[in-house]
Amino acid sequence: MYVMSPYSGKLISDKEAIDKYNNEGLWGLMVSVDLGECDHEKISSKEHITQFAIDLAEYIDMKRYGEPIAVFFGDSPKVQGYSLVQLIETSQISAHFAEDTDRAFIDIFSCKEFPPKKTAEYAQKYFGAKKMQYAIAFRDI
């Protein structure tokens, strides 16, 4: 089941998000996805995490710039896990995977439209998460 983060306001559909982005001439669209109770093996696998960046970019029709970077680090169990960065032509995909609590925190930011809800659901399925919430932000000045 998914919910929108209580910190971000009213839940809107993919169509509403894309329409708002295009009709208001906004500069960027971001979705932040928080996953809980993930499949531990999936969030602990550098190969699975880097493949996620490749597959997600294809799923949301973004052109990757270079290869994904995934690095394992963290001094305390609360934060220990892989961090991921994948540059895309229109911005970036980033994530951190907390192995101690089987959580994942994923951000996709682009100045090209993409469907936030479907993107969040894709991430949830990819990491076998039992819990998911997401928030949408629009970037502009």
124 in any annotated domain: yes
12 in any annotated domain: no
**pLDDT beyond 60 at 71:** yes
Boundaries of domain holding 68: 26-139
Question: Domain count of the chain?
Answer: 1
pLDDT (tens digit per residue) in 9-55: 677 899 999 999 999 999 999 999 999 999 999 999 999 999 999 99
133 in any annotated domain: yes
83 in any annotated domain: yes
Q: Decide if 35 contacts 103 (C-beta within 8 A).
A: yes
CATH number of the domain that 39 lies in?
Answer: 3.60.90.10
Q: What is the pLDDT of residue 75?
A: 85
Q: What is the pLDDT of residue 45?
A: 98
5 in any annotated domain: no
20 in any annotated domain: no
| Residue 111 per-residue DSSP state | S
Please report the DSSP string for 41-74 in residue order: HHHT-HHHHHHHHHHHHHHTT--B-S--EEEEE-
**pLDDT beyond 60 at 111:** yes
